[in-house]
Chain A
Amino acid sequence: GDSVTQMEGPVTLSEEAFLTINCTYTATGYPSLFWYVQYPGEGLQLLLKATKADDKGSNKGFEATYRKETTSFHLEKGSVQVSDSAVYFCALRVVEGGGADGLTFGKGTHLIIQP
């Protein structure tokens, strides 16, 4: 079945540090890939997405590139801020015509940014 593996947290960084959160996947079909973010007390929010190989999703300074050859979708940011502290989820969806397409999530990575 489909699955997503992401690095375990918590990940603790200082403000302005470089961030990488690793994500790899296995999928029976050709997936679309997503990063969602969950701030304390809030619902999941879509951060970025990529729908085909070599696509780069980007938003709020975060980037992730769909790497089919390594089945990866690592999240990166060049300079993190305290406000980036949250739980980050990597997810995939295999698009199949006519069927339901629920997301498959990783376990989440808790990111803590210290001032």
Chain B
Amino acid sequence: DAKTTQPNSMESNEEEPVHLPCNHSTISGTDYIHWYRQLPSQGPEYVIHGLTSNVNNRMASLAIAEDRKSSTLILHRATLRDAAVYYCIPGSQGNLIFGKGTKLSVKP
């Protein structure tokens, strides 16, 4: 399993963009990069995933470095409801291994 490094916590202001970084230098060639988030008292929810190319969906964008050793989750306009723990998980199997993630706080 690829080892990941994420900041323990980050702060953002409401309505501003947020860039959540993740280092995964030991990622294998077949591993996708998954991002999940966990709101307080809830199970994790899928945010976005990608392999090599940058990806966009209604929730966020995922920017993947050319060497795939790092990625950045981009929330274009943070809202108070985006306050959560964000997990970056490289993997190609169904048994995703969660780390400690980044706790994002959003200030009004």
Q: Do A and B bind each other?
A: no
Which residues of A pack against B, CB within 8 Å?
none
